[in-house]
Chain A
Amino acid sequence: MIYADNAATTRMSETAIETMTSVMRNEWGNPSSLYSRGQTAKEIIEKAREDIAAVIGAEPREIYFTSGGSEADNQAIISAAELGRKKGKMHIISSAFEHHAVLHTLNKLEKEGFEITLLDVHENGVIVASEVEQAIRDDTCLVTIMYANNEIGTIQPIREIGEICRRKGVLFHTDAVQAMAHIPVNVALDNIDMLSSSAHKYHGPKGVGFLYAKKNIVLTNVIEGGAQERGKRAGTENVAGIAAMAAALKEGIDRMPENAAHMTAMRDRLIAGLREIPHSALNGCSRRRLPGNVNFCFEGIEGESLLLLLDDKGIEASSGSACTSGSLDPSHVLLAIGRVHDVAHGSLRLSIGEDITEEEVDYIISSVKEVVEYLRGFSPIWRDLMQGKREFIL
């Protein structure tokens, strides 16, 4: 099988598995216990906190462990909203193609009286920093913009947005779930106040992540209970998961230069190959893009059947079609960059891994070409397009 769905999740690295199993087997104490078994577990967590802080340019006390990216997004946004509410600032700026962990949290706040501005992400899937500046008002309490998009891989001008927010005195959160360990991320250089990260997107375990929050920011609890995480996130810590996350992150960042160079070359080869398919289009900017992300729309076919046939050929990928999401609407990300429903249903996301080979890329290209042609062969839409009864969009 060729696994080309690394944006959904990644395979755990050997380092992460070894760290995790060793901690589970040997260091199973509760970090809150005062005897040494507990204190050893506590040390493991604190070492992980230091390691993670060091690689992202933060201080250890600015790192809060969570159950993953979704929880970190929820807590960051709710905390900024609570701080804003106290000052009568109830306006939040975000973008139309954020992850649902962000968008659904914003929906909830909107019902509580917050006003939400969702910025346009344009056809290329890149936010314009000056438009963030224009949208900031006296009552803006938060700007939350993702570092890189999970479907189309476009990288946002985070440093510029961070600089604007600093200057205007507005809190800035970024969902860096897809960016972390894949492109350079540094909270100090990038002017980031809060950041979300999730271990399973960089070869760590699922169900663990962290929230970075600058030291003067008072967080609001999303999970109430014990005094773990400086009282801001209750629950006995996932010691093994946290240790494995730190190991995976360090390894990912160590290897980033070579991995990114290889993946970028493979990505561009894949894009060039798929572009040969008539009436297809790359989704999102080809340059400001994660090294592993390729996302295309093919006119006249539907994404789920494409995925099932690729699966039969040993290729695991994903799509933004309605039928894969279980709703009637295709991906909100593709709609946000202006793809109409008709073509958004025919999307394919290939998120390649670090160990992808040129042969595998070429096999993916020939398989996708074959399957697209086959499906078009009995698509009534394709027939209408070919007979001129319907106009090509792509």
Chain B
Amino acid sequence: MALYSEKVMDHFRNPRNVGVIEDANAIGEVGNAKCGDIMKMYLKIENDIVTDVKFETFGCGSAIASSSMATELIKGQPLSEVRKLTNRAVSEALDGLPDYKMHCSVLAEEAIQAALEDYEKRTGVTV
């Protein structure tokens, strides 16, 4: 028995959308070094659509996999859909996470919602 599902390990070993978007217009950072997981999401939003997304994560295997999966789930999506992203959707897409690791998928949800708030602040638009 492995600690994580195949899907989690795949996203952990080959994380999608890693890095920084220099001209991102929505950035969300959550977590803190004290608790051991930090996620930073960079979004490029054009015409209410997430045209590009990248992430940086300091954290465990499930934090990295959750970030990666979350970016895949929102890439190309309209903001109305992105707003609805939940940690449950992230963990289900990863074929589940161990109970004590659910908080890592919660961080992915929060990082994206934080980026949307940043976008609202920058543009005055309500998502």
Contact = CB atoms under 8 A, between A and B. Distances in A.
A301 interface: yes
Given A305-B60, A379-B57, 10 more contacts: A300-B58, A302-B58, A302-B63, A326-B100, A330-B36, A378-B15, A378-B57, A380-B40, A380-B58, A382-B58
Given A305-B64, A308-B12, A326-B100, A379 B58 contact: yes
Contacts of A326: 100
A302 B59 contact: yes
A375 to B, nearest CB: 8
Nearest to A326: B100
B60 A378 contact: no
A302 B36 contact: yes
B69 to A, nearest CB: 15
Contacts, number: 71
Contacts of B104: 323
Interface in B23-73: 29, 33-40, 55-64
Interface residues of B, number: 29
18 contacts: A300-B58, A302-B58, A302-B59, A302-B60, A305-B63, A308-B12, A312-B13, A323-B36, A323-B61, A323-B104, A328-B36, A330-B36, A341-B33, A378-B57, A379-B57, A380-B38, A380-B56, A381-B38
A345 B33 contact: yes
Contact of B60 (A321, A380, A382): A321
10 tightest Cβ-Cβ pairs between the two chains A and B = A323-B60, A304-B60, A342-B33, A380-B40, A322-B36, A380-B56, A345-B36, A379-B58, A341-B34, A381-B58
A305 B61 contact: yes
A379 B56 CA distance: 5
Contacts of A342: 33-34
B114 interface: no
A300 B57 CA distance: 10
Contact of A378 (B9, B13, B19, B33): B19
Most B CB contacts (10 A, CB to CB) among A300, A308, A383 go to A308
Contacts of B18: 378
